[in-house]
Structure 1
């Protein structure tokens, strides 16, 4: 096996990236009742172009074996985040045959560095059961007040 290398996501990678995102959502138990491909393609193209979405890929040769993603949003500043700039992690996925090799940690470190450069004061994620250990080891703490209302 080749050693894993890392590079940024480009628009040319989007078809594979989107399929890996859908696989990730299914693994996490999401109900597959709508074709997300058009909406994901639109989102990633717009936000890659305006710099409010960044992603790193892990590759074994030419094969993408891991993905990461961070969306940058801005909220009114608050004491825990005086800049108001927040990184939202998504699309953290590693091919099952490549797991437990540090790839997810490497990818997470890269998008966290991007968040620092962007000026984020906080990073948030809704972690899968599988990811909680990784995020806790990297210093993330639970916020038990997170709630969501679906419109």
Structure 2
């Protein structure tokens, strides 16, 4: 397996991985199509200016796993009292034929190292049921976050 940094040319790969991740989690197909169209336009400039970054694992020339990372503004907080940003992990995906080989674990270790290199002291992610045990095994814990849709 080879690992490389995400590039602007990975736009469609990241979109495909994100859509498949949510499909695997049981999300509605019509919603996924709408989400991906909007995500593609959101992602394009962020890949270009590298505010969305991360890694791709390849087997030969074939991409088989990926992870997205971002830095997000966040006020100083008891979990990071001297810092005004958090790391954010998203779009962790491993192709089905490559699962159970430790690739997601390796991607998460790369994320930790990248955040540390950038001075990030605290990171968050939203886990699917499929990823929850992996993240817990790496020391990630549940938070008190709650959410709801806002309607007109």
Do they superpose with TM above 0.5?
yes
For 2:90, the equivalent position in structure 1 comes to: 90
In the alignment, the residues of structure 2 paired with residue 55 and residue 41 of structure 1 have an alpha-carbon distance, to the nearest angstrom, of 16
For 2:104, the equivalent position in structure 1 comes to: 104
Give how far 1:107 is off. 0.9
In the alignment, the residues of structure 2 paired with residue 14 and residue 130 of structure 1 have an alpha-carbon distance, to the nearest angstrom, of 24
For 1:68, the equivalent position in structure 2 comes to: 67
For 2:38, the equivalent position in structure 1 comes to: 39
Report the structure, 1 or 2, having the larger helix content. Answer: 2
**Count of matched residue pairs:** 147
SS at match of 1:37: helix
With normalisation by structure 1, the TM-score equals: 0.89
Contact persistence 2:11–2:47 (CA under 8 A): no
SS at match of 1:149: coil
With normalisation by structure 2, the TM-score equals: 0.88
Give how far 1:36 is off. 2.6
- Which of these residues, 21, 35, 38, is aligned with residue 24 of structure 1? 21
For 2:124, the equivalent position in structure 1 comes to: 124
SS at match of 2:19: helix
Which runs of 5 or more residues in structure 1 are unaligned?
A: none
Deviation string 1:20-55 (CA, Å, 9 cap, x unpaired) is 210111111222324233322222222233332211
Which runs of 5 or more residues in structure 2 are unaligned?
A: none
Give how far 1:84 is off. 2.4
Q: Which runs of 4+ in 1 moved over 3 A?
A: none
In the alignment, the residues of structure 2 paired with residue 120 and residue 42 of structure 1 have an alpha-carbon distance, to the nearest angstrom, of 27
Larger deviation: 110-119 or 124-133?
Answer: 110-119
